[in-house]
Amino acid sequence: MTTGIYIPQSADYPVERATYPTTGAYRRAVHGFVDAIILDGPPMMLVVNSRWQYPQLPVNRRATELCWLHNPILRMQVLIGGDAVLVGPPEEDGTVRDVPPDFATFMLDTTRFQLEHRNVSGPRWPVHRRTFSDYFTAAAYGVDLITTARRRTQTQIVAESDPTD
């Protein structure tokens, strides 16, 4: 049984932890045959409907922003459609692992997020003082920073720091 994060296409429904005991459970979650999109930092995988590319399915903005932030090759190149499930990276034999527990807790249980953004050659991670109430809004802003930068940059989402620190 694998633990993942279910990301519904409609923003009217919450993102939540769920368990997937079989491949059939992934098929039911994404409403069809499955495909996988590999993500970095930490290594993860989005399980999506095999017809995942828009316009075949309605755009899943949250899954798209997550993909763009964590897979630079697909950034601004694809729109992910339909429901998606975030899980850990596959084992050598193809067995799917749980979504990294620290990442799941961070994404789902943190209440306020900020961004750290820097030039790749820069030594510091300046924190953007804008605060976000959910991971996906922070991811969208991070993708905007990356795509408008004049130099090669890196962006990471962090929990809001205590202003008294």
Q: State the total domains in the chain.
A: 2
Do 67 and 136 fall into the same domain? Answer: no
Burial class of 15 by CB neighbour count within 10 A (0 to 12, 13 to 18, 19+): buried
Neighbouring residues of 54: CB distance < 8 A, sequence distance ≥ 6 = 78, 79, 80, 81
Are 119 and 38 within one domain?
no
One digit per residue, the tens of pLDDT, for the chain of length 165 reads: 999 999 999 999 999 999 999 989 999 999 999 999 999 888 999 999 999 887 889 999 999 999 999 998 999 899 999 999 999 998 888 889 999 999 999 999 999 999 888 777 767 777 677 899 999 999 999 999 888 887 777 888 999 876 554
> pTM for the complete prediction?
0.89
Range of the domain at 142: 110-159
Of the candidates 99, 123, 151, which is a domain's last residue? Answer: 99
Residues 14 and 63 in one domain: yes
Domain boundary among 75, 99, 123: 99
Evaluate whether residue 56 is within a structural domain: yes
Instruction: Specify if 105 maps to a domain.
Output: no
How far apart (Å, rounded) are the C-alpha atoms in residues 6 and 15? 6
Residue 66 and residue 147 in one domain: no
CB 64 within 8 A of CB 79: yes
Is 165 inside any structural domain? no
Assess whether 70 and 151 both reside in one domain: no
User: Which token pair is 12?
Assistant: 């009217």
Distance CA 46, CA 71 (A): 11
Question: How many whole angstroms separate alpha carbon 82 and alpha carbon 120?
Answer: 33
Beta-bridged to residue 31, according to DSSP, are none
